Chains A and B, each alone.
Chain A
Amino acid sequence: MKKIVLFLFVQLMVISSVRAQEFKSEGVYEFENKGSGNIIEDEKVVGYYFFYKVDKTGEEDDAYKLTFKDENLATVKEIEIFKRKGEILREVIYNGSNFACLFFNETTNILNIISYDKTGTKVGGYQIDPIHPYDLIKFKFSSSSLSLNYFKTIFPRGREGFIAQVSNNDGIKGFLISGLDNKMNEVWRYSTPSDLKGLNYATVMDMNDKYIVLVTSRQGNLLSGKSEQGITVLDIKTGAKVAIFESEFLGKKTSIMDALIDPKTNEVVVVGDYLENAEKFGKNPSDGIYFARYSVQGKEIKVVKVPYKGKIISSMDVAYQKMIIDGSARILIRKAFLPEDGRVVVMGELIEKAKNNHNVWNAYSRPMTKGKDDYLNSHQIICFDLGAKDDSVKIKTFEKAISSYSVSDLIKDKSLYICTFFELMNGAFDYLFNSYDRKHDVILTYFHDRGGLNLKGETSPPQFKIIKYEKGEYSTVNFEYKGDYDQTGILPAKYGFLTLLNYIRKERTVYWKLEKALY
C-alpha cells in the first residue's frame, strides 16, 4: 500500500483542527458510560469503543453509531446501527481480527452477539434466548467491562473466533459455553445438562492457544454464598473436556477469584480466599488468601496460604488491623498476573462493611447526596507477590482516601463477601484496571483515589493512581485531575497513558484527550 507521506503543513492543519490535541465525537445525542470502554488485546489497551445515540427513529428503534478508535484516539471505523429500543451495548471484545459486540435487550431479555470485521462490516450474529435469571442480573446491572470475568460474557478465542458464556434457561437450568467462529457460527458447545449434571455455573477465567480454564460451581453461585467451586479445563479448538480438577483443597471452603494458565508450563494457577474452620463464605469472613498451582490435568503441585491473622495483618498499618481482626474487612481480589520471572502477582482492594460512611458514591461514580444505613468502605489497594522459587509472599499496601458505597437493602443482612460481589457488579469500588505489557514485563494497576481522608487521617486530592510493578519492584504515580473530566470519565489507556472524556451536552459533543501519566 502506498505510504501516505504528509508535508509538515498538512500536519499543522490537522493539529490546528484538533485544538489542544483533543479529538471530538460530534452529534452525540445521548450516551452512557456503559456504552464506552477499552478494546483489549493480549491484556493491553489497543483502542476504545464508543456507542452513542444519534437520532430517535421510531417507536421500535433508534439510530446509533458505534465508533472504534485506535490507542491514539484516531477513528478506525464508525458503524451506523439501527437498534431496537431497550437494547444496550454491554461488551465489546476484539480478538485481533474481529470485534464481537454484545447487545442485551432489557425488554425482551434477549442477548445478541454481533461480529464486525475490521472494515466495519457485520459478518455474523449469535442469539441467546432465553437467558437465565442469574445472568439477567448481570446484564441489567453490571456497569463495566473492566470488572471480574464473572460478569463478562464474551472472550476472544484466538483470532479465529470468540467464546460466549451464559447460563441458559432452556428447559433445564445450566450453563452454556460456546466456541464461535468469527461469523458467529457455533463451532462447539459445552454445557449442562449434556455434559456434567450437577455443575450449574461456569465462568471463563483464562485461555491460551490450547486450553480454556473455567471456574465451575455446584449448588448455587457465588452470590448465594453456597457455592462449591472447582476448575474445569477445555480444549479451545474443540470444546472437549480436558480435566475437571478433583482437588481436596479446592471446594466449598475456598473461593476462586482468578485462575490463569501459565504460558510457559500450561500449569493452572488459582487464587482466592479460604476458610480454615468455618463452612460457608455466606456467613463467615475468609481466613486468608491462597495461591494454588495445578497441572493442566488437575494434579496439585503446591498450595500457599497467606492467613489474615498473620502475614496480612503484620503487613498493614495499625489503623487497619482492628477491622481485619474483627472480620469486618477483607481483601477483594481483583486480578492475578504471571510475570516472566515465574512469580504470581495479585492485586486486591481492602473492603470494609460498616455503618459509618465517608465519601459516598453510587455505582456510576457520582457522589450520592444521601447515604443509607449500610456501607462498603474501600480503603486500600493491596498487592501480593508470591516468589517464583520459594513460597515467600511479599505484601505491599497503597493508600487512598476512603470511599463508601451504600449497600442495597436487598442484601444488607448478607455477609461482607456477598455484599462485596453484589456491589462490585454494580460498578462499585476504586480498583479500575490492570494491564500487562509482556514486552517489558511490566504490570500497571490503575485505581481511583476519590479524594478525602484515609483511615490514618491523611488527606489526598481526587486523582488516579497507577502502580507499576516491574521485576519485584513497585512504584506509583499520581494523576490529579480537575473536575471537568470527572463528569464523563477517565479510561485507562495505552501503556502509561490515561484517556479523558468530557461530554458537553449543549454541543452534543464528546471531547477525547490522551494524557501521559507514567514515564
Chain B
Amino acid sequence: MKHLPRVAILFFLILTGNLSFCQELSHYQPIKIDTTNGAVLKFIDANFKINKDTLTLRDTTIRGIIIRQCSTRVDLVKDFVNEGDLYHNSIFDSVVRKVASVVIAANPIFKEKIIVLTSRSLIPNAFNLGNGVVVVNMGLLSQLQTEDQLALILCHEMAHDYYRHVNNSIFSYAMKRADKDLKRKIKKTLKEKYNVNQKLEALLIPGILEDMKYSRMDELAADSLGLVLLSNTNYNLTNAINVLDILDDIDEEVRIEPLELEKYFTYPEIPVRSIWFEYEETSALMKSSEDDTKSELDDSLKTHPDCSLRKEKLLEQVKAMGRLTEIKKEELNRYLLKDKKMVDFEIAQTLYDQLRISSCIYFILAKIEDYPEDYYLKSLLSLCLSTYSEFQKKKNASFVIGYNNSEYSANYNKIISFLNTISPAESSALSYWMIRPEQSTIKNNESYLSALLLSSYAFEKEAEFKECLNEYNSKFPDGRLKKYINKLSKY
C-alpha cells in the first residue's frame, strides 16, 4: 500500500500523457518521406538490364542512343525513390497495390513482371515507363471515384507495357536520331544562308507528326487491350470507363465562392493595410484581347485522342462484351480514397514541399473551413508565409509564387496579388502571430513545431528560434525540415 501514491502518480502521468498525446495526434502528421524503397530498386535492377538484342546491334549510334535512353529511365525511377517522390507503405500506395494485385491475379501473364508505383506528383496522370514499371500520380488518384476506374487505368498502362510501346518509341527515336540521310539533310540545311529554321521545321515536323499518329494509335490499342485485361476481373467495366469523364472534367475549381482573405490574415498584432486585400484585374492588354478566339489544338495534333472519342470506342467494346450495366448515381459521387482529409492534407503538404507557395496557400484556404478541429493546415499556412518571406528577402519571391493571369480564377489571382503586396516584414509577422496562441497544446506535432521554428526565424526572434530548433532536433531527428535547417544561416 505504501507504493500506492507513487503508482497513482505514475498512472496519472501515463493517463495525462496519453491524453495530451491523443490531443496532439488529432492534429494531422504528414506521411513520412521514405527514401529506402528497396523493393523498387531491386525490381529496377532485375528488369532494366539492357536487352541482349540491343547489345548486339551493329549500328553503334543506335545502340548508344538506346543505352543512354534506357539508363536515363533507370535514373528517373531511382531519383523517384531517392528524392522520396514515391509513397511507400501508406494508405495511397496500398490502395493502388491492392487493385494492381487483383488485376495481375486475373491476368497471370503479368505476374512478377509489373511493379506499380504511386508518385506524389499532383499532375493528374499515370504512365508506363516500360519494362514493367507503371506509375500512378497522386494528382490522378485523388480524383478517382472507384476501384473499377483505378483498375482500368492500371490495365491501360499494363497494356502499354505488354505492347512494349515505350521501348518501341525509344527504338524509333534512336532510329530517327541515327538516320544518316536525315542527319545529312539537317547538316546541309544548317549551312544554308536563308530560311534555315523554316527548312529545319519542314524536315523535322513530318517525323513529329508521324510520332503523334503512332502515339494516338498506341493509346487506342492500350485502351482496347486494357479493357480486355479488365474484363478478366470482376470490376465493373461500365463504371470503369467513366474515368474518361473525370479526365475531361478536371478543369473545375476547388472553391467557387469568393475568398475573404481578411478573415485569414487579420491579427491584432499586425497593422493591416487596406491594399493587402485589393485586387483588380489590371491587365488592360490581356482583357482587350479576350475577344480574340483562342484557337484550340486540332485533335489530330494531340498525342492522346479526346476522352469523349476514347469513351465512345470503349463503350462499343463493353457492349460487344455484354458487360454494359447501369451505374447508380451514388456510386459516382464518392472518392476512391475515402479519407478525404488525409488526401487534402497530403496535397497541401506536397505543394509546400514543392515550394508552390501561392498554390499551397490557395489550396489551404479552400480547405481550411472543412477541418476546423485540425491545426495542421494553419501550421502549413504559417510555414508558407515564413518560407515566402525568406524568398522575398532574397529578392527571389517569384520563384515560389505565380503571376497574376486573367485565365486563373479570381480567388487564385487574389492570393497572388495579396502575396505581392505584403512586405517581407509583414509576411514574417503574419507567419509568426497566426500560430502563437496554440503553442502550449500541440508542440509535439511536427508541422506545428516546424511552423513555430521557421516563423521565429523569419520574424527574427532569435531566442525562440533556438529553443524551437533544439526541441525540433530532439523530437524529430528525421523531420521534414532537416534539409532546410542547415541553410538557415542568420544565427
Listed in ascending order, the chain A residues whose CB lies under 8 Å from chain B are 1, 4-16, 20-22, 27, 29, 39, 41, 46-47, 54-58, 63, 68-74, 76-77, 94, 96-97, 118-120, 479-481, 494, 496-497, 513-517, 519
Report whether A8 and B396 are in contact in the complex, using a CB–CB cutoff of 8 Å. Answer: no
> B397 contacts which of A46, A47, A516 (Cβ < 8 Å)?
A516
Report whether A68 and B250 are in contact in the complex, using a CB–CB cutoff of 8 Å. Answer: no
Min CB–CB distance A118 → chain B (angstroms): 5
CA distance A118 to B420 in the complex (A): 28
Tell me whether B291 is interfacial, beta carbon within 8 Å. yes
Min CB–CB distance B124 → chain A (angstroms): 5
The verdict on A6 contacting B392 (CB below 8 Å), with A21-B403, A56-B193 known, is no
The verdict on A519 contacting B398 (CB below 8 Å), with A5-B252, A6-B251, A6-B409 known, is no
Report whether B197 and A27 are in contact in the complex, using a CB–CB cutoff of 8 Å. Answer: yes
> A119 contacts which of B289, B400, B426 (Cβ < 8 Å)?
B289
CA distance A63 to B198 in the complex (A): 10
Tell me whether B82 is interfacial, beta carbon within 8 Å. no
Residue of B nearest to A39 (CB): B285
Tell me whether B422 is interfacial, beta carbon within 8 Å. yes
The verdict on A8 contacting B254 (CB below 8 Å), with A15-B402, A480-B395, A515-B395 known, is yes
Report whether A70 and B195 are in contact in the complex, using a CB–CB cutoff of 8 Å. Answer: no
**B401 partner residues in chain A, CB cutoff 8 A:** 21
Report whether A74 and B399 are in contact in the complex, using a CB–CB cutoff of 8 Å. Answer: no
Residue of A nearest to B123 (CB): A13
CA distance A517 to B124 in the complex (A): 35
**Of A1, A20, A74, which is in contact with the most chain B CB atoms at under 10 Å from its CB?**
A74
**B404 partner residues in chain A, CB cutoff 8 A:** 72
Report whether B422 and A519 are in contact in the complex, using a CB–CB cutoff of 8 Å. Answer: yes
Interface residues on B, range: 35 or more
Report whether B194 and A74 are in contact in the complex, using a CB–CB cutoff of 8 Å. Answer: no
**B123 partner residues in chain A, CB cutoff 8 A:** 9, 12-13, 16
Min CB–CB distance A104 → chain B (angstroms): 23
CA distance A41 to B359 in the complex (A): 31
Report whether B251 and A5 are in contact in the complex, using a CB–CB cutoff of 8 Å. Answer: yes
The verdict on A9 contacting B122 (CB below 8 Å), with A46-B285, A519-B424 known, is yes
The verdict on A516 contacting B392 (CB below 8 Å), with A7-B250, A15-B402 known, is yes
**A57 partner residues in chain B, CB cutoff 8 A:** 194-195, 198
Across the A-B interface, the 7 shortest Cβ-Cβ residue pairs? A519-B423, A21-B398, A55-B197, A70-B286, A72-B403, A70-B285, A70-B283
> A56 contacts which of B194, B251, B254, B292 (Cβ < 8 Å)?
B194
User: Beta-carbon contacts of B391-425 to A below 8 Å, as 1s and 0s?
Assistant: 01001111111111111110010000000111110
Min CB–CB distance B240 → chain A (angstroms): 22
**B289 partner residues in chain A, CB cutoff 8 A:** 76-77, 118-119
**A481 partner residues in chain B, CB cutoff 8 A:** 395
Report whether A56 and B363 are in contact in the complex, using a CB–CB cutoff of 8 Å. Answer: no
Report whether B252 and A515 are in contact in the complex, using a CB–CB cutoff of 8 Å. Answer: no
Additional pairs, 17, CB under 8 Å, beyond known A12-B139, A479-B395: A1-B291, A9-B123, A10-B250, A14-B402, A15-B356, A55-B194, A63-B197, A71-B285, A73-B403, A74-B405, A76-B286, A77-B289, A96-B284, A118-B291, A119-B291, A514-B398, A515-B398
Report whether A56 and B195 are in contact in the complex, using a CB–CB cutoff of 8 Å. Answer: yes
Tell me whether B457 is interfacial, beta carbon within 8 Å. no
Min CB–CB distance A57 → chain B (angstroms): 5
Min CB–CB distance B345 → chain A (angstroms): 15
Within 8 A of A (CB), among B194-216: 194-198
Within 8 A of A (CB), among B359-396: 359, 362-363, 366, 392, 395-396
Report whether B407 and A4 are in contact in the complex, using a CB–CB cutoff of 8 Å. Answer: yes
Question: What are 30 pairs between A and B in contact, CB < 8 Å?
Answer: A7-B253, A8-B366, A10-B251, A12-B351, A12-B359, A14-B402, A15-B359, A21-B401, A21-B402, A22-B398, A46-B284, A46-B285, A55-B195, A55-B197, A56-B193, A56-B195, A57-B194, A57-B195, A63-B197, A70-B284, A72-B403, A74-B405, A96-B284, A118-B288, A119-B292, A120-B292, A481-B395, A494-B282, A515-B395, A519-B423
> A94 contacts which of B196, B256, B285 (Cβ < 8 Å)?
B285
Tell me whether B269 is interfacial, beta carbon within 8 Å. no
Tell me whether B331 is interfacial, beta carbon within 8 Å. no
Min CB–CB distance A184 → chain B (angstroms): 19
CA distance A497 to B417 in the complex (A): 12
CA distance A387 to B55 in the complex (A): 84
Residue of A nearest to B363 (CB): A8
Tell me whether B290 is interfacial, beta carbon within 8 Å. yes
Min CB–CB distance A395 → chain B (angstroms): 29
CA distance A115 to B71 in the complex (A): 53
**B122 partner residues in chain A, CB cutoff 8 A:** 9, 12
> B399 contacts which of A4, A21, A56, A73 (Cβ < 8 Å)?
A21
CA distance A71 to B139 in the complex (A): 31
CA distance A119 to B285 in the complex (A): 10
CA distance A55 to B285 in the complex (A): 28
The verdict on A6 contacting B408 (CB below 8 Å), with A12-B356, A119-B292 known, is yes
Report whether A7 and B408 are in contact in the complex, using a CB–CB cutoff of 8 Å. Answer: no
Min CB–CB distance A332 → chain B (angstroms): 29
> B283 contacts which of A1, A58, A74 (Cβ < 8 Å)?
A74
CA distance A46 to B287 in the complex (A): 11
**B412 partner residues in chain A, CB cutoff 8 A:** 6, 8, 11
Min CB–CB distance B365 → chain A (angstroms): 11
CA distance A70 to B282 in the complex (A): 10
Within 8 A of A (CB), among B282-319: 282-286, 288-292
**A519 partner residues in chain B, CB cutoff 8 A:** 421-424, 426
> B420 contacts which of A27, A46, A516 (Cβ < 8 Å)?
A516
**A96 partner residues in chain B, CB cutoff 8 A:** 284
**A120 partner residues in chain B, CB cutoff 8 A:** 292
**B251 partner residues in chain A, CB cutoff 8 A:** 4-7, 10
The verdict on A8 contacting B362 (CB below 8 Å), with A15-B402, A71-B285 known, is yes
Report whether A5 and B253 are in contact in the complex, using a CB–CB cutoff of 8 Å. Answer: yes
> B398 contacts which of A16, A20, A41, A63 (Cβ < 8 Å)?
A20
Min CB–CB distance B338 → chain A (angstroms): 20
CA distance A69 to B403 in the complex (A): 13
Residue of B nearest to A42 (CB): B284
Min CB–CB distance B329 → chain A (angstroms): 22
Min CB–CB distance B402 → chain A (angstroms): 6
CA distance A68 to B197 in the complex (A): 22
CA distance A176 to B74 in the complex (A): 69
CA distance A77 to B253 in the complex (A): 27
CA distance A6 to B291 in the complex (A): 19
**Of B256, B283, B284, B426, which is in contact with the most chain A CB atoms at under 10 Å from its CB?**
B284
Residue of A nearest to B139 (CB): A9
Report whether B402 and A7 are in contact in the complex, using a CB–CB cutoff of 8 Å. Answer: no
**B195 partner residues in chain A, CB cutoff 8 A:** 55-58, 63
**B403 partner residues in chain A, CB cutoff 8 A:** 21, 72-74, 514
Min CB–CB distance A475 → chain B (angstroms): 12
Report whether A6 and B253 are in contact in the complex, using a CB–CB cutoff of 8 Å. Answer: yes
**A11 partner residues in chain B, CB cutoff 8 A:** 359, 362, 402, 408, 412
CA distance A55 to B196 in the complex (A): 7
Report whether A1 and B398 are in contact in the complex, using a CB–CB cutoff of 8 Å. Answer: no
**A73 partner residues in chain B, CB cutoff 8 A:** 403
CA distance A432 to B286 in the complex (A): 26
CA distance A56 to B195 in the complex (A): 5
CA distance A120 to B422 in the complex (A): 36
Report whether A72 and B405 are in contact in the complex, using a CB–CB cutoff of 8 Å. Answer: yes
> B292 contacts which of A72, A118, A479 (Cβ < 8 Å)?
A118
Report whether B193 and A1 are in contact in the complex, using a CB–CB cutoff of 8 Å. Answer: no
Report whether A29 and B359 are in contact in the complex, using a CB–CB cutoff of 8 Å. Answer: no
User: Beta-carbon contacts of B139-172 to A below 8 Å, as 1s and 0s?
Assistant: 1000000000000000000000000000000000
Report whether B285 and A54 are in contact in the complex, using a CB–CB cutoff of 8 Å. Answer: no
**A76 partner residues in chain B, CB cutoff 8 A:** 285-286, 289
CA distance A7 to B351 in the complex (A): 15
CA distance A77 to B397 in the complex (A): 27
The verdict on A29 contacting B402 (CB below 8 Å), with A39-B285, A515-B397 known, is no
**A74 partner residues in chain B, CB cutoff 8 A:** 283, 286, 403, 405-407
